[in-house]
Amino acid sequence: MTNKADKALLPAGMSDVLAPDAAFEASVLDRLLADFAGHGYDRVEPPLIEFEESLLTGIGAGLAEQTFRLMDPVSQKMMGVRADMTPQIARIASTRLINAPRPLRLSYAGQVLRVRGSHLRPERQFNQAGAELIGADGAAADTEVIVMAADALGRLGVTDLSCDLGLPTLVPDFCRGGPAGEGGDADLQTRLRQALDRKDAAAIAEFSDELGEDTTGPLAAMLAAAGPASGTLKTLGSLGLKGAAQAGMKLLNDVVDRVQAALPDLTLTIDPVENRGFEYHSGVTFTFFAKGVRGELGNGGRYQANGGAGSDSEPATGFTLFMDTVLRAVPAPELRSRVFLPIQTTAEDAAGLRAEGWITVAGLEECGDGEAEAARVGCSHVLDGGKVRKINKSNKE
Amino acid sequence: MLRVNEKLVLALPKGRILNEVMPVLRDVGIEPEAGFEDSDDRRLRFATNLPELDIIRIRSFDVATFVAFGGAHLGVCGNDVLLEFDYPEIYAPVDLGLGRCRLVVAEPEDMIGSDDPATWSSLRVATKYPTLTQAHFAGRGVQAECIKLNGAMELAPQLGLCRRIVDLVSTGNTLKANGLVEIEQIAAITSRLAVNRAAWKTRPDEIGHWITKFRGAVDGDAA
């Protein structure tokens, strides 16, 4: 590896973040976490690596395929690099903070590493920021996290934000007792799930032989009902759902009313059959999108937090924002002006300028033409005779 | 950021399917500008009678990619392409019922009866659909080594690339003309209305409007 190109090549999905993006990302993260802290969510910081057995149990079980593993030479146990921080927060809540009063509000931010990137997110390492509300159930708790996330994104300057609500338990509750229900034909369930995930209306219709029109009819209606919240709720209401499915729908309705009351400008949609990415969720889920921005800004929802097999679980809800997408949706920051200080400048003058909000770039040696040197090192201004002066761009070679 | 794309973009596949799609397009009230159906026109993006909607004309495999990445908000492509890529960002809410065909495994006539599929552990297949083919055979414990071709799959067995192919069949005439016989079907194929997930969520009224229109056009035909 003597060649420059060899040295520059990074593994797939990894990248160097340079100026001004690195500073921008850090400042956006700071603003988000300050926002969460303002709502009483205390920041915690779990380690990058944990033992596999604690990282990949409970809600982390689905992440096994995405987790890089390495062996700890000290304990001789297998360790995993976190692919998602939520399971770590759940672990902290159910172990170290088991005696803390409920509801417990925690926030976090950090890098995660994944084995594979996806088509839309080829990055294998990226920043997550999020918050979890643990030990609280019901529509008020669901609403709190949705509104806090939407509000935080809005405050960052994300425009045309929309929130897509889901209820991954709706289809299983509806199918309960039938062949596609719990304990039924596992293969049939997988195929039905795939068809629903792709929103493939034709494939749903093909299930009518196996499930009967009584089941596929309402499923097709649920699939077609995805869209603006009020319309979806109306359709769901007309399906005559019973039992747990009906209770779930009522809860969804309640959450929609509360979120709309808090944030009347937020576009709210409902996707009653959405399940992808919500495999471990047990109640209302949500995904944030911004108009014209590729991919999800973040997602979250209700789940049962437990610290692994055997421990008690408690209701929790929370969300994770994906910083790569969030940054695409946030307006680019205004660059602060940089002023070049010739070597004669006193430390006092330099400090004064920084206090005024300038970025100062000090000259380290005598240079004849201050203006040319300022242009060369990327400054927009130069300190000349005690006065800050904008440089004349045409002087730049 | 894709802010410039405030207009909705509908991606349509070039070739055979396009002729079948045009009537549906007119049913839903979309009239492309002159030159769209002229295959000599070198432009790729066309305006329509609707100021808020543009059409692009690309290969059917690329329809799925443009829709998945949000470059096009809506598209028409076969579920062969959707299954091959299985992009989580694409929804296929309407079956347009066009371009009906089947994705099948075929082998030379003279092999029929001489080999028992139950004994296979691996096999070589020429196909345009390596992912689908691999998944299909893996489902019964067979490792499929795929040779990716972009057309004329039927030649591969004759010229010794492999003995089996996985390809689309509508009438079966091409297979027959090349001495091949269909041995099993992997999937039934029709064209679907494909929708970008983020576009559906962020512009629910506009996208919902088009889904309803297309669904109406298809149901109208069936009645």
B115 lies in the same domain as B183: yes
CA-CA distances (angstroms) from residue A249 to A217, A348, B44? 18, 65, 45
Name the residue in chain B with its Cα closest to that of A222.
B93
Contact: B92, A294; criterion CB under 8 Å: no
**pLDDT computed for residue A326 by the predictor:** 96
For residue B1, being part of any structural domain is answered with: no
User: B32-83, pLDDT tens digit by residue?
Assistant: 998 888 878 888 999 999 999 999 999 999 999 999 999 999 999 999 999 9
Nearest alpha carbon to residue A153 among A306, A310, A325, A385? A325
Domain of B18: which CATH number?
3.40.190.10
pLDDT at A311: 58
d(CA B28, CA B21): 11
Q: pLDDT tens, A292-315?
A: 888 899 999 999 987 544 557 899
Residue A197: list chain B partners with CB under 8 A: 88
Cross-strand bridge partners of residue A166: A271, A285
Query: Least CA distance to B4: which residue of chain A?
Result: A292
A289 touches chain B (CB under 8 A): yes
Question: What pLDDT is recorded for position A393?
Answer: 66
Asked if the structure places residue B71 within a domain, the reply is: yes
Q: Which residues of B touch A (CB under 8 A)?
A: 1-3, 5-6, 68-70, 79, 82, 85-95, 190, 192, 195, 198, 200-205, 208, 215
Q: Picking from A83-92, A167-176, A199-208, B167-176, which range would have the lowest pLDDT averaged per residue? A: A199-208
- Using the Cβ of A293 and the Cβ atoms of chain B, whether some distance falls under 8 Å is answered with yes
**Chain B residues touching A160 at Cβ < 8 A:** 202
CB contact under 8 A, A294 and B70: yes
Q: Compute the nearest-CA separation of A101 from chain B (Å).
A: 37
**Model pTM?**
0.89
Looking at residue A307, its pLDDT comes to 53
Contacts of A294 in chain B (CB under 8 A): 2, 69-70, 198
Provide the 8-state DSSP code for B33.
Answer: P
Amino acid at residue number B42: R
Tell me: pLDDT of A52 over 90: yes
Mean pLDDT of B198-210: 92
Residues pairing with A314 in the sheet: A305
Shortest Cα–Cα distance, A261 to chain B (Å)? 20
Q: How many domains does chain B have?
A: 2
Report how far residue B9's alpha carbon sits from residue B71's, in angstroms, rounded to the nearest whole number.
Answer: 8
Q: Do residues B171 and B195 share a domain?
A: no
Q: Which amino acid is at A185?
A: D
Instruction: Count CB atoms within 10 A of the CB of residue A179.
Output: 16
Residues 6+ apart with CB under 8 A from B159: none
The maximal CA–CA distance of chain B, rounded, in angstroms, is 61
Say if A199 is an interface residue toward chain B (CB within 8 Å): yes
Q: Under an 8 A CB cutoff, do B1 and A328 touch?
A: yes
Looking at the domain assignment, is residue B128 inside a domain?
yes
Residue A133 is encoded by which pair of tokens? 């509300």
Domain assignment present for residue B3? The answer is: no
Please give the residue of chain B at the shortest CA–CA distance from A275: B88
- Three-state SS at B68: helix
Residue whose tokens read 């997988």? A190
CA distance to partner chain B, nearest, from residue A227 (Å): 6
* Residue whose C-alpha is closest to residue A215's, from A226, A200, A204, A224: A204
pLDDT exceeds 50 at position B223:
no
Range of the domain at B76: 8-100+189-219
Mean pLDDT score of chain A? 91
Distance CA B161, CA B159 (A): 6
Please give the distance of CA B216 from its chain centroid, rounded to a whole number: 22
Residue A199 to residue B92, Cβ atoms within 8 A: yes
Contact by Cβ (8 Å): A294, A118 = no
Pair B84, B193 in one domain: yes
**Mean pLDDT value across residues B102-106:** 95
Query: Per the domain annotation, does B205 fall within a domain?
Result: yes
**Average pLDDT of A134-163?**
96
Average pLDDT, integer, range A98-115 = 96
Could you tell me if A282 and A59 are in contact, meaning their C-beta atoms sit under 8 angstroms apart? no
Burial of B190 (0-12, 13-18, 19+ CB in 10 A): middle
Give the number of other CB atoms < 10 A from CB of residue B48: 19
Token pair recorded at residue B75: 């598209």
> Would an 8 Å CB–CB cutoff place A279 in contact with chain B?
no
Provide the residue count of chain A. Answer: 397
- DSSP characters over B98-132: -S-EEEEEEEEGGGTTT--GGG-SEEEEEES-HHH
Name the phi and psi angles at A373, rounded to 5: -65, -40
Rounded Cα gap, residues A124 and A112, in angstroms: 8
> Which residues lie closer than 8 Å to A122 by C-beta, 6 or more apart?
A12, A13
Q: Where does the pLDDT of residue B221 fall: very low under 50, low under 70, confident under 90, or very high at 90 and above?
A: low
Q: Could you tell me what percent of chain B has a pLDDT over 90?
A: 77
User: In B, which residues are within 8 Å of A296 by CB distance?
Assistant: 198
**Maximum average pLDDT range among A170-179, A208-217, B24-33:** B24-33
**Helix or strand run (H / E) with residue B24:** helix B16-27
A316 and A302 in contact (C-beta within 8 Å)?
yes
Residues B14 and B67 in one domain: yes
Q: What is the dihedral of CA B9, B10, B16, B19, to 10 degrees?
A: -110
What is the rounded CA–CA span in Å between residue B222 and residue B201?
A: 29
Residue B1 has its nearest CB partner, among A119, A276, A292, at A292
- pLDDT given for residue A1 in this prediction: 52
Pairing of strands B45-47, B53-58: antiparallel
- Tell whether B46 and B16 lie within a shared domain: yes
Question: pLDDT tier at A397 (50, 70, 90 boundaries)?
Answer: very low
CA dist A274 and A277 (Å) reads 9
Q: Both B127 and B143 in a single domain?
A: yes
Which tokens hold the place of A365?
A: 């040696």
For residue B53, being part of any structural domain is answered with yes
Return the minimum-mean-pLDDT range out of A95-104, A125-134, A384-393, B112-121.
B112-121
- Are residue B80 and residue B19 in the same domain, yes or no? yes
Residues B200 and B212 in one domain: yes
- Say yes or no: B41 and B85 in one domain: yes
Sheet holding B143-148, edge to edge: B143-148, B122-127, B164-169, B101-108, B180-189
If we measure between CA atoms, which residue out of B80, B84, B64 comes closest to residue B13? Answer: B64
Instruction: Record the tokens describing residue B171, joined without a space.
Output: 């009438």
Size (chain B), residues: 223
Residue B206 lies in a domain: yes
Are B109 and B184 in the same domain?
yes
Q: Let me know if residue B113 belongs to a domain.
A: yes
pLDDT surpassing 50 at residue A56:
yes
- Across the range A168-196, mean pLDDT stands at 87
Torsion angle in degrees (nearest 10) through CA of B129, A279, A217, A236: -140
Same domain, B105 and B168: yes
| Same-domain pairing of B107 and B166 | yes
Q: Is the pLDDT of residue B96 over 90?
A: yes
Q: What would the mean pLDDT of A273-284 be, rounded to a whole number?
A: 88
